[in-house]
Amino acid sequence: MVQRRAARFVKNVPHLRTKPPISVSAMLSNLGWEPLQTCKLHGRLNMFYKITQGMAELHPVPRHQLAARGHSQQFQRLEPSVDAYKYAFFPRTDPIWNALPVELVEAESLEAFKLHLQSLH
């Protein structure tokens, strides 16, 4: 809703019933904006990459056994029992990180990681 309002503001289109109706989705694609949900996901994965490369001072719990599938940098999935923690950074991001392809996780730099992440979506 916020992004759609911003698109109307940027395009200077009032929120009035107009004939013919103006498509906000068309405005968003015309502006080239990614959905906010995708931007937030990419931000979380970028932060997780920084953590695994030692660029940040957080430490997720590594997986004790190697997974049958996936990459070698997988982390233990946390199963929180409290709703307040269920939506925290690590419980939300661990499963997504563990499902990433090997070439993405083993990128040489943050810039290479970001470029490859963009190509996936």
Establish whether the linkage from the previous residue to 91 is cis, with ω within 30° of 0.
Answer: no
Number of domains the chain contains: 2
Do 94 and 67 share a structural domain? Answer: yes
pLDDT at 89: 87
Crossing angle of helices 110-120 and 36-52, rounded to 10°:
140
Range of the domain at 22: 2-31
Do 95 and 110 share a structural domain? Answer: yes
Do 90 and 61 share a structural domain? Answer: yes
Do 57 and 40 share a structural domain? Answer: yes
Do 65 and 41 share a structural domain? Answer: yes
User: Which residues, other chains included, contact 15 with Cβ-Cβ below 8 Å and sequence gap of 6+?
Assistant: 5, 8
Do 69 and 53 share a structural domain? Answer: yes
User: Which residues, other chains included, contact 39 with Cβ-Cβ below 8 Å and sequence gap of 6+?
Assistant: none
Tell me the per-residue pLDDT of 50-97, one tens digit each, with 9 for 90 and over: 988 888 776 665 655 555 566 767 777 767 778 888 888 888 888 888
Q: pTM here?
A: 0.64
Do 18 and 55 share a structural domain? Answer: no
Do 114 and 87 share a structural domain? Answer: yes
Q: Are 22 and 13 in contact (CB under 8 A)?
A: yes
* Whole-number Å distance between alpha carbons of 16 and 115: 39
Tell me the per-residue pLDDT of 11-55, one tens digit each, with 9 for 90 and over: 888 777 666 777 888 888 889 888 888 999 999 999 989 988 888
Do 116 and 71 share a structural domain? Answer: yes
Do 66 and 21 share a structural domain? Answer: no
